[in-house]
């Protein structure tokens, strides 16, 4: 789960990290009022969406008058901001963060990520702040500092100081930088974050270290331990398909194709996506229906897949172990009947109670195509999709 910049900064503040003063606004008038509360010569109006590179898309503006603030707020609010991270669909701006302007003397990149290879949190830092970490890796690879944190003891003061010295900071700033690095790590550790990025972390003209921007992602599986973090979720920033499925306990990831997939097991789901592409089609989603799927859960899976208006054919691929093919078949029949499904549907069943499952499908007298193998199922669903495309007068 991602959160907004202003929410991330509030959390950082709790762990002793300096952040600029600011306030949230939902209208141009409120944005002007927030700026007046800050009582500075300049302020920064920032669109709050779950994406980086907002500045390049016009989502971050430095303003020096009430008129400029109102104009910036009017332009941003209600607009879909398109960045290289949002994709062409963009993300809707529903709130702004009005922040005091900062006198920047130096910019630093500071990130904390879960490294699967190390099986630990790794600190990634660079004296070349203000850029995406990918750009830093490409343009300034020697500037990247990596430090692995031992989970048994956490971030130690000496380790934070080493990072600060490697960043080339003035000796007078080492203690302050160490406190910032340690505080950010504690936030990530105690709140079960999976990624924390401060970019840029800046040294101000007055010699303060301040987190000027921040992105945080949380481990969804740990949110039950942090109800206060769950409350920060903004569903308007999420893929509506994934939100619908996630709220119903389904493992779903939206893709860009036309063939909807309902599969059990992550490995089989990935293999199914590959086979569809090898057959010449494009999958519309990853969906793992999970173990012990009831007919009701299968019906919910169909609803989740059909929430995507781009879906033009559906493939159900089940290898039953904990699952039972007869349960899946009952769910498929129920879904076709209740949802009045007109799209091409291919079902491949294998494993526990497979004969009973196939019998249920055969006796349903519904327009359901069956297949014996995954390769056959992929070929049949792609072929059915192409026929539907041709029938509708569109090129496949």
Q: Containing domain of residue 311, as a range?
A: 239-391
Same domain, 163 and 256: no
Return the structure tokens found at 375.
């390769």
Tally of domains in the chain: 3
3-class DSSP state of 347: strand
Residues 151 and 2 in one domain: yes
Q: Is 99 known to sit in a ligand binding site?
A: yes
DSSP 353: T
Buried b (16+ CB within 10 A) or exposed e, 17-40: bbbbebbbbeebebbbebbeebee
Contacts for 363 with CB less than 8 Å, ≥ 6 apart: none
Q: Is the domain of 109 the same as that of 90? A: no
Q: Are residues 221 and 300 in the same domain?
A: no
Same domain, 40 and 108: no
Q: State whether 247 and 341 are in the same domain.
A: yes
| pTM, to two decimals | 0.80
Q: Is 102 annotated as a binding residue?
A: yes
Residue 178 near residue 158 (C-beta atoms within 8 A): no
Listed residues 211, 238, 265: the one ending a domain: 238
Check: CB of residue 272 under 8 Å from CB of residue 315: yes
Instruction: Please name the residues in contact with 49: beta carbons below 8 A apart, sequence gap of 6 or more.
Output: 4, 59, 81, 86, 91, 92, 93, 237
Domain-located, residue 396? no
For 110, the token pair is 């500071």
Q: What is the dihedral of CA 253, 254, 255, 261, to 10 degrees?
A: 80
Active-site residue set: 109, 197
| Shared-domain flag, residues 113 and 205 | yes
In which residue are the tokens 């974050």 written?
193
Do 185 and 271 belong together in one domain? Answer: no
Last residue of one domain, picked from the residues 73, 101, 129:
101
In tens digits, what is the pLDDT along the chain, a chain of 396 residues? 999 999 999 999 999 999 999 999 999 999 999 999 998 889 999 999 999 889 889 999 999 999 999 999 999 999 999 988 888 889 999 999 999 999 999 999 999 999 988 899 999 999 888 767 777 778 778 889 999 999 999 999 999 999 999 999 999 999 999 999 999 999 999 999 999 999 999 999 999 999 999 999 999 889 999 999 999 999 888 888 888 888 888 889 999 899 999 998 889 999 999 999 999 999 999 998 876 678 888 899 999 999 999 999 999 999 988 778 998 999 999 999 999 999 999 999 998 999 999 999 999 989 999 999 999 999 999 999 998 888 776 554
Tell me: do 56 and 42 sit in the same domain: yes
Task: Note whether 367 and 220 are same-domain residues.
Answer: no
Same domain membership, residue 133 and residue 74? no
- The DSSP output letter for 150 is P
Tell me: do 52 and 34 sit in the same domain: yes
CATH number, domain of 357, equals 3.40.50.261
Length of the chain: 396
Within-domain flag for 15: yes
Residue 337: count other Cβ atoms within 10 Å of its Cβ. 12
Q: Which of 101, 133, 166 is the last residue of a domain?
A: 101
Judged by phi (left if over 0) then psi (alpha if -120 to 50, else beta), residue 162 lies in alpha
| CATH code for position 172 | 3.30.470.20
């Amino acid at each position: 789960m991602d959160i907004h910049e202003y929410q991330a900064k509030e959390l950082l503040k709790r762990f002793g990290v300096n952040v600029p003063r600011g306030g949230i606004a939902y209208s141009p008038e409120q944005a002007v009022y927030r700026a007046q509360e800050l009582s500075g010569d300049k302020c920064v109006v920032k669109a709050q969406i779950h994406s980086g590179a907002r500045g390049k898309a016009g989502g971050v503006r430095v303003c020096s008058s009430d008129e400029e603030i109102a104009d910036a707020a009017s332009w941003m609010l209600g607009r879909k901001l398109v960045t290289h991270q949002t994709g062409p669909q963009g993300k809707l701006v529903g709130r702004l963060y009005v922040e005091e302007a900062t006198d920047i003397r130096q910019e630093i990149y500071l990130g904390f990520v879960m490294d699967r290879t190390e099986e630990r949190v790794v600190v990634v830092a660079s004296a070349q702040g203000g850029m995406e970490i990918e750009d830093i890796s490409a343009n300034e690879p020697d500037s990247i500092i990596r430090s692995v944190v031992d989970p048994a003891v956490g971030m130690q003061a000496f380790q934070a100081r080493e990072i600060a010295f490697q960043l080339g900071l003035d000796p007078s700033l080492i203690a302050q930088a160490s406190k910032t690095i340690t505080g950010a790590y504690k936030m990530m550790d105690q709140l079960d974050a999976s990624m924390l990025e401060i970019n840029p972390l800046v040294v101000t003209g007055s010699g303060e270290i301040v987190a000027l921007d921040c992105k945080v992602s949380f481990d969804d599986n740990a949110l039950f331990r942090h109800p206060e973090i769950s409350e920060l979720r903004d569903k308007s920033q999420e893929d509506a398909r994934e939100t619908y499925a996630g709220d119903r306990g389904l493992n779903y990831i939206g893709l860009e194709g036309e063939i909807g997939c309902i599969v059990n097991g992550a490995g089989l789901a990935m293999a199914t996506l590959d086979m569809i592409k090898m057959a010449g089609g494009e999958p519309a989603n990853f969906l793992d229906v999970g173990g012990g799927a009831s007919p009701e859960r299968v019906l919910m899976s169909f609803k989740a897949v059909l929430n995507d208006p781009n879906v033009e054919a559906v493939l159900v691929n089940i290898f039953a172990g904990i699952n039972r093919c007869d349960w899946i078949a009952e769910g498929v029949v129920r879904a076709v009947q209740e949802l009045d499904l007109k799209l091409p549907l291919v079902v491949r069943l294998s494993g526990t109670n497979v004969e009973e499952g196939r019998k249920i499908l055969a006796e349903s007298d519904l327009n359901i195509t069956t297949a014996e193998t995954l390769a056959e199922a992929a070929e049949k669903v792609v072929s059915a999709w192409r026929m539907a495309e041709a029938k509708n007068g569109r090129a496949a």
